[in-house]
Structure 1
Amino acid sequence: MIRDEAQARAFISEWGGAEAIEKLEALGAALREENERQNLVSRGSLDTMWIRHFADSAQLLTHVPRGTQGAWFDLGSGAGFPGLVLAILRPEQPTVLVESRRRRVDWLEAMREKLALEKCEIEGKRLELVESRKAAVISARAFAPLPKLLSLSSRFSTAGTYWVLPKGRSAAQEVSELPKAKRKLFHVEQSLTDEEAGIVVGRGRIGAAK
């Protein structure tokens, strides 16, 4: 379990070198400034952002093999977690951040440019309006209840798609309430940043809702 900011930095250093840490520090400084203009994250979380936002995002990498080819789709990226962090730590992998709120989109685009995230793409529209394409990985943090999330994103999935979905305390319950055909694709992993939180992890294609 990651319990303090120093441990969070050490954990993230396993996934990215000095350049990645420098970019995360720049992201953190920009986040503090922008949070005065719009409520990107809770004010109280800024003092522990390396745990609450950076390590919480980076831990998703433990569930996706290194070298996974194809685009990583992050749905409802909001302030950029986990999407921006993943784009920083895996700069060689295309990352697609889907966000419909205009001010959040402006923020994400500004950070993509500021941090020189060349393979990071911002889809500034509702997920329903994003053109269908295949995702190697799909993540979503506080985006929608699991059944709705899977229904909306099914058309992006393939037999090889990895799903990594932080779900907090409701993870196990949300999986248990899925239809059997979908439920068998998923399990819950313990979050490394919150003893009471879980991450819904799975692999496979989700059939379109009937």
Structure 2
Amino acid sequence: MAWIERTFAPTPTHWERLERFAAMLVAENGRQNLIAASTIPHLWVRHIADSAQLVAFDRVGQGLWMDLGSGPGLPGLVAAILSGRPTLLVESRKRRCEFLREVVAELGLGHVEVAEAPLERVETRAAATISARAFAPLDRLIDLSARFSTESTHWLLPKGRNAVKELASLPPAWQKVFHVEQSHTDAESRILVGRGRIVARQRGKR
């Protein structure tokens, strides 16, 4: 919480929404498996600050933030609370979408939309920022989301300790878009940060 305070200087409304979201996340976790139970004692570092740091990598960003495979709203809801930007949470699982809509309504997040569908069925639109936390293998993630990117799209992809290895496995044209940043919340984790438009591979090519 101290890192969030130093980095964002949240208003009382920001804090109220973050705290309410955290409480709703823990309560809902008793009904459906949203986060590992072992991480609940470290919720603010492991999930809230871990999500918030993506906003810190995109402080001057504007426009639509797309969070792919949003699950319980990590990092999408945290980013929406702190940035105030229009946000699209893409999630295909019905019960998770019900939870996301409940949080959006409870917190009064009128700038947040929930898309209950596989990403392949989401209407193409230009995304200023694309984030994904454990959505899909990196190459598939980029293939599926490439159509939402523009020359100015900012990519924020937490990839854990294997970030460098995963980046090296991508086609050279994709590799040039990204660089690796150190996570602020986990010394062993890395984040792939990129900017630009990516062209999806032709079907059947690897």
Please say whether Structure 1 and Structure 2 have the same fold, judged by a TM-score greater than 0.5.
yes
TM-score, normalised on structure 1? 0.93
**Among candidates 106, 111, 117, match of residue 119 of structure 1:** 111
Root mean square deviation of aligned Cα = 1.2
1:49 — aligned with what? 43
Contact 1:11 1:55 in 2 (8 A): no
Which runs of 5 or more residues in structure 2 are unaligned?
none
Aligned to 2:72: 79
Deviations 1:33-92 (A, max 9, x none): 1111111111111111110111000101122142x221000000001100010111112x
Helix, strand or coil at the partner of 1:89: helix
Quote how far apart the aligned CAs of 1:208 are.
2.0
Task: After TM superposition, give the deviation of residue 16 of structure 1 in Å.
Answer: 2.4
Structure 1 residues 1-80: aligned runs within 5 Å: 6-11=1-6, 14-66=8-60, 68-80=61-73
User: Distance in 1 between the 2:179 and 2:196 partners?
Assistant: 12
Distance 1:151 1:28 in 2: 32
Counting only pairs closer than 5 Å after superposition, residues 1-210 of structure 1 correspond to structure 2 as 6-11=1-6, 14-66=8-60, 68-91=61-84, 93-210=85-202
Q: 1:154 to 1:9 in 2, by over 3 A?
A: closer
In the comparison of the two structures, how many residue pairs are matched?
202
Unaligned runs of 5+ in 1: 1-5
Q: Which moved more, 1:143-152 or 1:15-24?
A: 15-24
How many Å apart are 1:10 and its aligned residue?
2.9
Rounded to whole Å, the distance in 2 between the matches of 1:150 and 1:102 is: 24
Deviations 1:95-121 (A, max 9, x none): 000000010000000000001001000
Give 4+ residue runs of structure 1 displaced > 6 Å after superposition: none
In structure 2, what is the Cα distance between the partners aligned to 1:148 and 1:36? 31
Q: Matches of 1:7 and 1:64 in 2, distance apart? A: 20
Distance in 1, Cα, partners of 2:170 & 2:200: 14
Match of 1:3 in 2: none
Following the alignment from structure 1 to structure 2, what is the Cα–Cα distance between the partners of residues 77 and 44?
A: 20
Q: Normalising to structure 2: TM-score of the pair?
A: 0.95
What SS does the corresponding residue of 1:123 show, helix, strand or coil? strand
Distance in 1, Cα, partners of 2:48 & 2:114: 19
How high is the sequence identity, in percent, across the aligned residues? Answer: 50
d(CA) in 1 for partners of 2:166 and 2:86? 29
**Deviations 1:176-198, CA, capped at 9 Å, x for gaps:** 11111110111110001110000
Amino acid aligned to 1:177: S
- SS of residue paired to 1:188: strand
